[in-house]
Structure 1
Amino acid sequence: MTPAPAPASPAPNPQGTRMPALYLSHGAPPLADDPVWPGELAAWSAGLPRPRAILMVSAHWEEAPLALGATEPAPLVYDFWGFPEHYYRVRYEAPGAPELAASVRKLLRAPGTSVQDIPDRGLDHGAYVPLVEMFPAADIPVLQISMPTLDPRRLMDLGRKLAPLRDEGVLIVGSGFFTHNLAALRHAGTPAWSTEFDAWGHEALASGDLDSLLDFEAKSPSGRLAHPRTEHFAPLFVTLGAAEASGDLAARRDTVEGFWMGLSKRSLQFG
């Protein structure tokens, strides 16, 4: 396969510019081989101001109390099984982000949130798979933090606490999947539960219906099929909290739409 041209570097982040808050559907390791999706992610990042650092919240790291990953470069976490060998050779050697970690500790410990350090915990595939496509130079410091809960309200509160980082040039990224039920993908094509939930979620976000989103399991069509376990929708609430705290919920745009292997790859930018 002929390599795609390298995407343009993100525009510099002028001092005082608030960074957007993102929610992205991150894809499995084979995302790199998709003919469309990598280009969509690259085009998205090319239109962003250049972050001073990136804070990642991935569906693939649940840890309580909230944990800070490696603040210096550490081996990636290949948290998947049964894939061809070349997916385990991917590298993403971004600089560590000790200053960002210090800022996160300060923001979270002030209101009494417990924080722990796991210094050898590298980026998992929910973090590095999209970063390889969006920031391939790996020259921006990256810090991953865990989700200490799957409770949408508590995750929104976490996002609100982290929101001041956006004014310091930090790109806050919630990385999940807008629909995610691998066990129910029994046939070729996109299942009705995935399209129904995607349309419902799109409308709820467009209308700013946070109450319905927070109670999505009960209020959405096919909610329990689209997310039989909610870890892939949960990072959205960190992003929503960071956007709400800065008054950016209405400044929303859908950056990636469509489906991949039957799952909604809807991704969002606030601000």
Structure 2
Amino acid sequence: MTAPAAAFDRFLPKALPLARAQREWTPADGPLPSIYLGHGAPPLFDDELWIDQLFAWAQSLPKPKNILIVSAHWEAAPLSLSSAGAHTPLVYDFSGFARRYFEMTYATPDATELSRRVTAAMPDNEPVHRHARRGLDHGAWVPLKVMYPLGDIPVLQLSMPTHDPERLLELGKRLRSLRAEGTLVIGSGFMTHGLPYLTREIMATNAVPGWSSDFDAWAADALDRGDVDTLADFRNKAPGMPYAHPTVEHYVPLFVTLGAGERPDAPVRTTIDGYLIGLSKRSFEAA
């Protein structure tokens, strides 16, 4: 039987020298893209292909000065920020997995300056609560541990205050200026997330249910055309609903990503596609 996170353990020796050599972002690079990614949960650490895809994506970009991430797993209003102190704790918000995953760490540096910048980017009528102890949940630390395994970039998590696409687009727009300062803005979710509808057969064979492939193809087409209105009307227009998203918190972070892009209605660049246990891994970046 394969040991938990064995793929990640094989990955680290080859990844760490590349991570140390990664060129750091400078103003001459211009704004970093904003990105939307599927975060994978602990099984990501057992998926060699997905690990390599995420790390290659990170390596294709200059190393960010900071990372700001909105995850499906922190829904809270008013807007809230995780603890900005160094060695921010992790939130192990999953169950039924091997002990190894609950012992993983990701000790990132102090992010106080990024906390100030995010707070300053919000209007006076949008207060931001700064948590003293709230850590990074698995929608943040799991993919980042793969993409930036040194853990040497300040990371903050921003809560998702609503599911409304228009409000999330507006939130992304407020964060847009941070990209020109070397901050990587991330929306973290899963392009399909119909966990209640995954059968044992699907999970054992990685078969793709029609509701997952249909929703993914619909989203890919709309993203390729920059059709934000269609994406926002997913409850009425997307095939595969509500099976693809019986709850929508894993889909809607993409509107933060699009809003933080220079033009929310511009076509995006798909960086990862394919499926894990029948769920779409589709991820993209917006310029």
TM range (shorter): over 0.9
Number of the residue aligned with 1:182:
195
Q: What is the CA-CA distance between 1:251 and the residue it aligns to?
A: 5.7
Q: TM-score, normalised by structure 1?
A: 0.95
Partner Cα separation in structure 1 for residue 221 and residue 147 of structure 2: 27
Choose which of 215, 218, 231 in structure 2 pairs with 1:200.
218
Q: TM-score, normalised by structure 2?
A: 0.90
Question: Identity of paired residues, percent?
Answer: 48
Residues paired across the two proteins, number: 268
1:169 maps to amino acid: G
Choose which of 215, 229, 237 in structure 2 pairs with 1:219.
237
Partner Cα separation in structure 2 for residue 165 and residue 197 of structure 1: 31
Partner Cα separation in structure 1 for residue 59 and residue 51 of structure 2: 12
CA contact (8 A) 2:224 2:267 kept: no
Q: What is the CA-CA distance between 1:81 and the residue it aligns to?
A: 0.9
1:231 maps to amino acid: E
Residue 93 in 1 paired to residue 103 in 2? Answer: no
Number of the residue aligned with 2:133:
120
Choose which of 60, 65, 74 in structure 1 pairs with 2:78.
65
Partner Cα separation in structure 1 for residue 266 and residue 171 of structure 2: 20
Aligned residue runs from structure 1 range 2-21, under 5 A: 3-4=10-11, 5-6=14-15, 8-9=18-19, 10-16=22-28, 17-21=30-34
Q: What is the CA-CA distance between 1:74 and the residue it aligns to?
A: 2.3
Number of the residue aligned with 1:55:
68
CA contact (8 A) 2:24 2:65 kept: no
Choose which of 35, 39, 50 in structure 2 pairs with 1:37.
50
Q: What is the CA-CA distance between 1:117 and the residue it aligns to?
A: 1.5
Number of the residue aligned with 2:246:
228
Q: What is the CA-CA distance between 1:176 and the residue it aligns to?
A: 0.2
CA contact (8 A) 1:70 1:96 kept: no
Aligned residue runs from structure 1 range 245-264, under 5 A: 246-247=262-263, 249-250=265-266, 252-264=268-280
Number of the residue aligned with 2:121:
107
Partner Cα separation in structure 2 for residue 19 and residue 159 of structure 1: 14
For structure 2, the residue ranges without an aligned partner over 5 or more in a row are: 1-5
For structure 1, the residue ranges without an aligned partner over 5 or more in a row are: none
CA contact (8 A) 2:136 2:157 kept: yes
Partner Cα separation in structure 1 for residue 240 and residue 46 of structure 2: 30
* Cα separation, partners in 2 of 1:48 and 1:248, compared to 1, 3 Å: farther
